[in-house]
Amino acid sequence: MAQLSPDPASAVAADYAACRAAIRQGSKTFFAASLLLPERVRAPAYALYAFCRLSDDAVDDPDAEADAVERLRSRLDRIYAGCPRDAAADRAFADLVARHALPRALPEALLEGLDWDAGGRRYETLEALRAYAARVAATVGAMMTVLMGVRDADTLARACDLGVAMQLTNIARDVGEDARNGRLYLPRTWLLEEGIDPDAFLAAPAMSPALARVVARLLGEAEALYRRSAFGVAGLPLSCRPAIHAARLMYREIGCDVARHGHDSLSRRAVVSDARKLAVLASALGATAFGLRGYAADALAETRFLVEAAAFPGAEGAKGWRGALQRADERTGWVIELLGSIEKRRWADGAPS
């Protein structure tokens, strides 16, 4: 296990600073939202995001080698052995792995999702698509909860709900961009039900009322998960609630913009204006002390393995770790999701969103 010093700032200050600089340049949305996080959360969040983005870039690069994912797994081997590769993101990630006892099953699941991307996998059903979203997005939510010391199964389940919702929103937004790159994430059965041949669509992408209905249906699934995820806020320590609210509200706004333009994500890319982002952040700050209570639902079947990997035995329910952590530390809190970290293909939002 890696040698730890009292805090990340003194342990690997230069490495964490390098991760922060990469995030500031590569994802303005996440960087802005990260300012709502307590300082003790911010540094490991930057390191987690940087490692995820590095992994995605390694696979998504047009010149990536066929064994790119296996190379990433080898890097993960070294990280978990406490002897990371000589790179800032690897060293910082190794530090947070050791510091927070991050279960390896979580980053492993992320790499599995990237492997699916590298293989050009398509998705027959909504359930299959959610399995993909669980790996490339819900994993980040689960890892963030672990970084914040939250191991309650209910809270983890809601974190995963939010991750999947965000990923479905990304897919709905990027239909045109993906199609032009030869990628298709919309459930094949939904397309066929609307009379859209998936191969013909990829050969000549075109907007149609039928495609708009598929996009609207996907956003409806995302909306249901955004609602479910809201109930996790009450289980979070107070100081990080603004970030969870901002994450939910800002990503939901992307879907709202797609809907306002007739669910056309083929000829345009959804944009959330800076003014709207500020309004969302203000709303998140105003909602800091509040969260919906009294709702419990099982984890999605597709994310249950993440919850089981991250949760401590006996931590289920309000009397488990959630209650203990709230009593011990209402001020320093928990946050879910990195706004840009689950960008469906890039882990960065270069275009405004």
pTM over 0.95: no
Rounded mean pLDDT of 231-243?
75
Where on the phi/psi map is residue 298: left (φ > 0), alpha (ψ -120 to 50), or beta?
beta
Rounded mean pLDDT of 81-106?
94
138-188 pLDDT, tens digit each: 999 999 888 887 889 998 999 999 999 999 999 999 999 999 999 999 999
Which tokens hold the place of 124? 């027959």
Higher pLDDT, 277 or 303: 303
Average pLDDT, the chain: 82
3-state secondary structure 204-266: CCCCCHHHHHHHHHHHHHHHHHHHHHHCCHHHCCHHHHHHHHHHHHHHHHHHHHHHHCCCCCC
Rounded mean pLDDT of 16-32?
80
> Is the predicted pLDDT of residue 312 greater than 90, yes or no?
no
> Is the predicted pLDDT of residue 47 greater than 50, yes or no?
yes
Which tokens hold the place of 271? 């944009």
Q: Which of 45-59, 79-93, 145-159, 243-257 has the highest mean pLDDT?
A: 79-93
In this prediction, residue 22 has a pLDDT band, given cuts at 50, 70 and 90, of: confident
Cα 224 from Cα 227, distance rounded (Å): 5
> Is the predicted pLDDT of residue 286 greater than 60, yes or no?
yes
> Is the predicted pLDDT of residue 307 greater than 70, yes or no?
yes
> Is the predicted pLDDT of residue 257 greater than 90, yes or no?
yes
Among the listed residues 182, 183, 214, 181, the one whose alpha carbon sits nearest the alpha carbon of residue 196: 214
221-234 pLDDT, tens digit each: 999 999 999 888 77
Listed in sequence order, the residues at least 6 apart from 127 whose beta carbon sits closer than 8 Å to its beta carbon are: 301, 302
Q: Please tell me the predicted confidence (pLDDT) of residue 292.
A: 57
In this prediction, residue 59 has a pLDDT band, given cuts at 50, 70 and 90, of: confident
Rounded mean pLDDT of 189-212?
97
> Between the CA of residue 27 and those of 44, 169, 220, 277, 328, what are the distances in Å?
16, 17, 26, 14, 33
Higher pLDDT, 335 or 312: 312
What domains are defined for the chain?
A: 105-328 (1.10.600.10)
In this prediction, residue 293 has a pLDDT band, given cuts at 50, 70 and 90, of: low
Q: Please tell me the predicted confidence (pLDDT) of residue 63.
A: 65
